[in-house]
Structure 1
């Protein structure tokens, strides 16, 4: 039924009315007009899954406004009171019979306590807000909320702002939200509304059903400065989310205007009946229910904050942005429950940081962090722009180390290396590698780097000078750097270079990519004593000066000081190397920034014992064992610090030459890359709004990588060569549940 507005009674006393069209059905009888609607369960019937499904079908609007996200969190509006200033509520209706659902109300027309709804409009609105979710009839948006019925209309239907003012003042201190599914014939004295706003109430008002270009009063008061963003005007949309023909548009209230379903909405009515009604009166209570869900989740929110959250998280409809028809857009509870703006938290020392900023790339030595991330143990509480707390899985910022891939190898196969060596008498040796790229090889590089990568360059260089007093000095750049130390530096036979076996490399020197080294050595009493400096940084001294890779300023930098003692015997060699490796922007090869930043630098002390023995001509057995200690550091992020970490690495290799043909090289290596076996990481995080937790985790991973490498290279003639490499990694990167990593690569090169 349509209820027309009455003319204004005076400048201070204006008529108000409810305005909606409805068709009613009773239980158990149904009217012909609603025969296709599901029948509600009889009172006392056990609630079944089917009944809940039927109730949900009747309450179609819950899906349209994305309310399920709230129910998945256990929200129902419990503990929040909503005042309905309307035609009253039918207290004997099955949807409101739960104890505590209805508070004692007020009849603002008579001054009495009788709030019985004899017209049905108030019950319909109340049902959309908070009807029980019980498998009968319909379910309210905030089905667990409490209702405060305030009857401001006589049973004839049309009332005045005098009763409205009494009702507004009565709600102060008793409710958190006021629903006004009413419309006035014109502006009126807003002092009672101002008092309600000042008291902290949120007011949700229907925009009106005149098809007008802007909202009616009282919804139109939302644009006033005194409204303090605590009044939301609500329009109605149809099943296609188009503005309903009868709905007043946003107009000059666009910034405070939402839309919600308002056509054919089924809800409670008088005399334990249900009705399908259309109007902005039906859309407004959906917004009131949504506000109650937010208030239950975050009781500290002010009314203006709740309103702003609902407005800024609406689904945009119509013209992009705030527009004069749809205002902010369609109510979206799911989005309203998600963070707005930037999530921040505080560290143990009071520093404010963005929770999901930065990234963490663990190394094999710090792979326990990936396991913690994968198991959901790296959690914290962050706050959005409205200081709402959200549980955050910090594991989202942790990247799992990539497995071996053919792309990595194929990318290098497009590269042609030309090695040249020259000996200057007995005093000096020089070697360099010239690298050129073909189009095929560059295709494996990221597109944004292809244009910047040098097509032809000097890739490596080494110089060895010998003095007559037993002194040696060496200098190297690129891939030659660091090969004078440890197992790589052992010499058994001229044609049996151990430096070509990757598994025999010093793992702590492997923390330094693109290295440069300088070393001096001297023989004394059959021992060689060697000291040197190995360094790596963002600038490659062999690269073109005009090549600048993105993010170079953040790339890791490191240097190692090396002291080594070695001795060669008849067919055998031994060495002991002491290193101090200092990393910047890295921690044992891992890179981190933001909330999970471990440390921006690390200093690791390590020792390597290496040896090799010639089993037979051109066949050697070599191995190394390395141990490191990285002193603990305090952090400046959610990582409060790490204790001293202890790491180790082992490898054993067979190296052969001239096996199948002259000039070939064969190696078989078994190794355990660097792995932490002792140490802890401590996080200090907010676990809720007030409490901080200190979480202590072991940095020893549950897995242990064992790597097998087989490599064979052979010349095929003066202009051609071939190579084959195979690698297997069990529990790669020391991650226990990681699948076996396998790689087989073939390479053929020739000159034309």
Structure 2
């Protein structure tokens, strides 16, 4: 293993999207089984003064124990990190000690900034105690603006704001008496220009809008946030001023303190200040407007859906604030550090797909080899604000065919495949099938046979009927709507039905037929995944045996072995040349031996700025043996019992380039190594399929499977599944 190293680069030019399958309802009958309170701010209270303990009033959404993304460090204390408290003074009462206080505390009302003049006995001290309790890494600067009266001098508050703005240690300003003053705009603007987060109470006046300095918030470039108060019942305190026309700048928090026996917006405000301080300590490079945006967007919605005139953005949620927000990306090889900058790709450009698990779906032949890589267990990722998190991609990456197959078989069999003849003429017919594809386009099939030698078929989202003799012994939809599950997994392609299909069949003689096929298909999940496939097959068949020799070319756009495009482990394109030999040997009129073998060679074009690059050519193979039966209990039933190995990489490698952390200088650390793509395991699947056409309107089916080391993952033991289907029309 190569030692991790720090990468020196010039700028962050790109970001990498870190990258479920949805079924459709059918109109048929499907039965299936799968196993496997006085007021802070100097106003009098209308209610009771009973105050719950701090742990009781602090809701889970305000908990400071943030469950962060795995391997992300908790916020670390920052020596000298300051929160300015504009209030009645801060007394040295635990947890406030002389060491907690920053130098430079001052009084602007002729008092002592380390004496709390609140008439209730405590106000500024209780505010500081909340901040220090919830944000232990913060230090307090007491800027005394009041001696405890109901009004606050605008001049004193203005001087305090300018003093805080001039102090480089101050990163957050807690203005719990904001509703009691209206300072000149230039004073509070000075704090905003100093990139300080300004947290202001909404006020306790029962107003529909915030009062006092909070009204400056819209003009401060997003650096200010207004706080309303929730009561013991979790609802808005009756006297708390609402969001009103300032909803875009407004959140709510619990309006209580364990250090005082009354309630109000003054005690909700320091809870938001503490959260802002925690965020600034954990990610010092964040700008003030980003801090307020994180607090708002991570809040738990209350009241009317969305931002409303009562609760604004809702109840602050500390745990969610420390989780990624917006599109998540991994730094590319051209990234210098984890800080967001003006050239970073915006959320709109990366889209919500950036963290979608479906973008982290890789081809089954590759899955086991990739998830076993230790480097993928700690991958550095950035959210929309440039905040760094560590993700375990090995647990997020999924395989195209790793989950149970029974569900897919049920959906295939239970789908409405009613055929409607649209037009027929001499040697041709045009049909449509019930339902539409994911784009809303109709499913159509053209079958033209001008003579006994030639046959042309074209289908849109309908596969033509192939001449593979072995398929006649494996129960499947025989109307062009699908092929057998076990048959598909011996293919290098064939994972998509939607799109254009064509098949030309030429009868050479009574025993031989040549098929030439072309398909241009896409996925059904809106992933912009496209496949083009060309193949030619020679079929030989008589009464006792049948065989096919097939060769083809599969071109995948943004995909490898059916992987989802655009993910962190994605590729630009892949081109696979393959062959397949298949056939059957009849034992008697009802029973035949089945066999198939496939080999493939794939050339990969890596995508820019992905975690995988410099692919070698990949060799892969698959096989199947089994028994097929017909007319077991009636003339309209069939069954198969097969043992198979789905397509598996047998030779190949790629480069792995994974950012995993930040160095002391802020540069991104990267892990780089050449890895093999051959999985350590080898899946062996035993599958039993039975199907019977009971009547014209009723069909029964059963599917069972036992998979050992599913997806070629040696850590997966034996898995079993069973599905039964009853399909009918009424």
TM (norm. structure 2) is: 0.69
Question: Which residue of structure 2 lines up, in the alignment, with residue 271 of structure 1?
Answer: none
> How far 1:83 sits from its partner (Å)?
1.5
Shift in CA distance, 464/638, structure 1 to aligned 2, threshold 3 Å: farther
Question: Which residue of structure 1 lines up, in the alignment, with residue 682 of structure 2?
Answer: 704
Shift in CA distance, 596/106, structure 1 to aligned 2, threshold 3 Å: closer
Q: Check conservation: 2:150, 2:180, Cα contact below 8 A.
A: no
CA distances 1:14-36 after superposition (whole Å, capped 9, x unpaired): xxx9625699xxxxxxxxx98x7
Question: Which residue of structure 1 lines up, in the alignment, with residue 250 of structure 2?
Answer: 257
Shift in CA distance, 121/634, structure 1 to aligned 2, threshold 3 Å: same
Q: Secondary structure of 1:195's partner?
A: helix
Question: Which residue of structure 1 lines up, in the alignment, with residue 607 of structure 2?
Answer: 635
Q: Check conservation: 2:578, 2:598, Cα contact below 8 A.
A: yes
Aligned counterparts, 1:202-351, within 5 A: 202-223=197-218, 225=219, 227-250=220-243, 253-262=246-255, 264-267=256-259, 275-317=260-302, 325-344=310-329, 347-348=332-333
> How far 1:698 sits from its partner (Å)?
4.8
Q: Check conservation: 1:533, 1:559, Cα contact below 8 A.
A: no
Aligned counterparts, 1:324-403, within 5 A: 325-344=310-329, 347-348=332-333, 352=345, 353-354=350-351, 355-356=354-355, 359=359, 361-368=361-368, 377=377, 379-384=379-384, 386-391=385-390, 398=398, 401-403=403-405
Q: Check conservation: 1:207, 1:215, Cα contact below 8 A.
A: yes
Question: Which residue of structure 1 lines up, in the alignment, with residue 12 of structure 2?
Answer: none
Q: Check conservation: 1:380, 1:393, Cα contact below 8 A.
A: no
Shift in CA distance, 568/387, structure 1 to aligned 2, threshold 3 Å: closer
Q: Secondary structure of 2:626's partner?
A: strand
Q: Secondary structure of 2:406's partner?
A: coil
Shift in CA distance, 622/163, structure 1 to aligned 2, threshold 3 Å: closer
Question: Which residue of structure 2 lines up, in the alignment, with residue 129 of structure 1?
Answer: 131
Q: Structure 1 regions of 5+ residues with no counterpart? A: 4-16, 24-32, 39-53, 131-139, 268-274, 419-429, 467-472, 491-499, 540-548
Rg larger in structure: 1
Q: Secondary structure of 1:218's partner?
A: helix
> How far 1:148 sits from its partner (Å)?
1.9
Shift in CA distance, 302/727, structure 1 to aligned 2, threshold 3 Å: closer
Q: Check conservation: 1:84, 1:148, Cα contact below 8 A.
A: yes
Residue 507 in structure 1 maps to residue 510 in structure 2: no
> How far 1:86 sits from its partner (Å)?
2.6
Q: Check conservation: 2:661, 2:669, Cα contact below 8 A.
A: yes
Choose the corresponding residue for 1:200, options 181, 195, 200.
195
Q: Secondary structure of 2:619's partner?
A: strand
> How far 1:381 sits from its partner (Å)?
0.9
Q: Check conservation: 1:232, 1:258, Cα contact below 8 A.
A: yes
Over the residues paired in the alignment, what is the CA RMSD in angstroms? 5.4
Q: Secondary structure of 1:307's partner?
A: helix
Shift in CA distance, 562/184, structure 1 to aligned 2, threshold 3 Å: closer
Q: Check conservation: 2:429, 2:448, Cα contact below 8 A.
A: yes
> How far 1:609 sits from its partner (Å)?
4.9
Q: Check conservation: 2:173, 2:199, Cα contact below 8 A.
A: yes
Q: Secondary structure of 1:740's partner?
A: strand
Q: Check conservation: 2:448, 2:455, Cα contact below 8 A.
A: no
Question: Which residue of structure 2 lines up, in the alignment, with residue 645 of structure 1?
Answer: 618
Residue 517 in structure 1 maps to residue 503 in structure 2: yes
Q: Check conservation: 1:361, 1:592, Cα contact below 8 A.
A: yes
Question: Which residue of structure 1 lines up, in the alignment, with residue 3 of structure 2?
Answer: none
Question: Which residue of structure 2 lines up, in the alignment, with residue 496 of structure 1?
Answer: none
**Whose RCO is larger (CA < 8 A, sep 6+)?**
2
> How far 1:681 sits from its partner (Å)?
5.2
Question: Which residue of structure 2 lines up, in the alignment, with residue 737 of structure 1?
Answer: 716
Shift in CA distance, 503/187, structure 1 to aligned 2, threshold 3 Å: closer
Shift in CA distance, 578/146, structure 1 to aligned 2, threshold 3 Å: same
Quick one: distance in 1 between partners of 2:689 and 2:77?
67
Residue 691 in structure 1 maps to residue 668 in structure 2: yes
Quick one: distance in 2 between partners of 1:184 and 1:504?
73
Shift in CA distance, 70/291, structure 1 to aligned 2, threshold 3 Å: farther
Shift in CA distance, 315/518, structure 1 to aligned 2, threshold 3 Å: closer
> How far 1:369 sits from its partner (Å)?
7.7
Q: Check conservation: 1:595, 1:639, Cα contact below 8 A.
A: no
Q: Check conservation: 1:236, 1:280, Cα contact below 8 A.
A: yes
Quick one: distance in 2 between partners of 1:747 and 1:159?
77
Quick one: distance in 2 between partners of 1:322 and 1:622?
63
Q: Check conservation: 1:435, 1:458, Cα contact below 8 A.
A: yes
Q: Check conservation: 1:372, 1:378, Cα contact below 8 A.
A: no
Shift in CA distance, 666/375, structure 1 to aligned 2, threshold 3 Å: farther
Q: Secondary structure of 1:533's partner?
A: strand
Question: Which residue of structure 1 lines up, in the alignment, with residue 42 of structure 2?
Answer: 19
Residue 533 in structure 1 maps to residue 516 in structure 2: yes
CA distances 1:462-481 after superposition (whole Å, capped 9, x unpaired): 78867xxxxxx776667665
CA distances 1:205-236 after superposition (whole Å, capped 9, x unpaired): 3333344454443333334x3x3333333333
Question: Which residue of structure 2 lines up, in the alignment, with residue 404 of structure 1?
Answer: 406
Quick one: distance in 1 between partners of 2:590 and 2:241?
92
Q: Structure 2 regions of 5+ residues with no counterpart? A: 1-36, 336-343, 474-482
Shift in CA distance, 453/705, structure 1 to aligned 2, threshold 3 Å: farther
Question: Which residue of structure 1 lines up, in the alignment, with residue 66 of structure 2?
Answer: 69
Shift in CA distance, 729/81, structure 1 to aligned 2, threshold 3 Å: same
Question: Which residue of structure 1 lines up, in the alignment, with residue 534 of structure 2?
Answer: 560
> How far 1:291 sits from its partner (Å)?
0.9
Quick one: distance in 1 between partners of 2:99 and 2:525?
61
TM (norm. structure 1) is: 0.67
Residue 81 in structure 1 maps to residue 45 in structure 2: no
Shift in CA distance, 22/662, structure 1 to aligned 2, threshold 3 Å: closer
Shift in CA distance, 600/451, structure 1 to aligned 2, threshold 3 Å: closer
Residue 175 in structure 1 maps to residue 170 in structure 2: yes
Q: Secondary structure of 1:290's partner?
A: helix
Aligned counterparts, 1:394-433, within 5 A: 398=398, 401-405=403-407, 407-408=410-411, 410-411=413-414
